[in-house]
Structure 1
Amino acid sequence: MSWWIGYAELYFTSKKCPEFGVEEYKKALDRFDEMADLRNYGK
């Protein structure tokens, strides 16, 4: 399953663990949704 690493995405934030709450999590998911629209998987 190591070939899946090509589809891995990282999200970096300046918030630390106690500060990382629901709002920051929603921001991360929104960012993922934005990038999903641009992804074409080599097509």
Structure 2
Amino acid sequence: VEFFGTQEVEQTPMKANAAQGTFYTLTLDYINVGNNRLNI
């Protein structure tokens, strides 16, 4: 995984839900595969 930009990487605790178990969510601004940006 490569991180680009000037902002620091932040850590976020995992969410726990008794009905769904423990999970992690994140918001993606964009995804690149090679030199191609995917439309998400």
Report TM bin, short chain.
Answer: under 0.3
TM-score (norm 2): 0.23
The structure carrying a bigger strand percent of its residues is: 2
Tell me: higher relative CO, structure 1 or 2? Use CA pairs within 8 A at least 6 residues apart.
1
The structure carrying a bigger helix percent of its residues is: 1
TM-score (norm 1): 0.23
Higher gyration radius (CA)? 2
